[in-house]
Amino acid sequence: MELRVKAAVCAFLSVALHSSCSSLSLTTPTSPVFGRVGGDVTFDVSTNPSNVMLQVVIWTLNNTNMVVSSAGSTVGYGQGYKGRAHLNTMTGSLSLFRLTLRDSGQYSVTIGTGGESGSASVTLQVLASSPRTVFTLTTESLARIIIGSFLVAILVAVVAFLIANGIRRGQLCRKVPDFKADINESPPSTYENVHNMKTMDKRPSLPSPSTDHHYMGLQPRRQSI
């Protein structure tokens, strides 16, 4: 299959070189395309006129390494690109997967539609992937997380209990009347009676009249002769 692709490509190139008419225009990204190691990129290609049947598509790297080529429905891949490259035979677009630093460079595409052909190029720059931070959860770290979460839960429960208890006490104090104020303002009648009795006991007692005085008052007066 690869031999037939190479033969078709060679035949197309020989025809294109000896042809003086080339009215097919190709459009590719004008600015460099950036990718990262292990990532994917796609080089989009558009033709003008757009309603043409692509017969031959050739992608090369730095004009030396064959990436992929197609002749009709037959597609062949260069060394190291099989399984990492995909060619859209309808549009001529190229996709590269699992990029490496060696994939950086200038990619050239040549498309032929029988009597017409066109070429374009695009630059790819592959950047080194940024280091990823790997977090390893050990048994000690897990135990610390569990203990910390437990202590925080206890602290929250204690604070909630104290707040609720304070609210309940405030409500209870509002409901209890001020008995001390009532006692000072209007003492009960029992207290008044006891106080009056103590006051009467402290008064000086009057001597009671003796029986002798009553008897002397009852003696008959002496009559004068």
Domain 2-127: give its CATH code: 2.60.40.10
pLDDT reading at 205 higher than 90: no
What are the domain boundaries of the chain? 2-127, 139-202
Q: Residue 152's pLDDT is what?
A: 92
- Maximum CA pair distance of the chain? 204
Residues 6+ apart with CB under 8 A from 5: 69, 70, 71, 74, 75, 76
Percent of the chain beyond pLDDT 70? Answer: 62
Rounded Cα–Cα distance for residues 4 and 40 (Å)? 29
Q: What is the pLDDT of residue 105?
A: 96
Is the pTM higher than 0.85? no
- pLDDT band for 5, please (50, 70, 90 cuts): very low
* pLDDT tens-digit readout, 148-170: 998 999 999 998 888 888 887 77
User: Mapped to the 3 state alphabet, what secondary structure does 31-97 carry?
Assistant: CCEEEECCCCEEECCEEECCCCCCCEEEEEECCCEEEEEEECCEEEECCCCCCCEEECCCCCCEEEC
Residue 58 in this model has a pLDDT that exceeds 90 = yes
> pLDDT tens-digit profile of 12-42?
455 444 444 457 888 899 999 999 999 999 9
Task: Tell me how far apart the terminal alpha carbons of the chain are, to the nearest angstrom.
Answer: 193
- Statement: residue 70 has pLDDT above 70: yes
- Tens-digit pLDDT profile for residues 168-187: 777 766 665 554 545 455 55
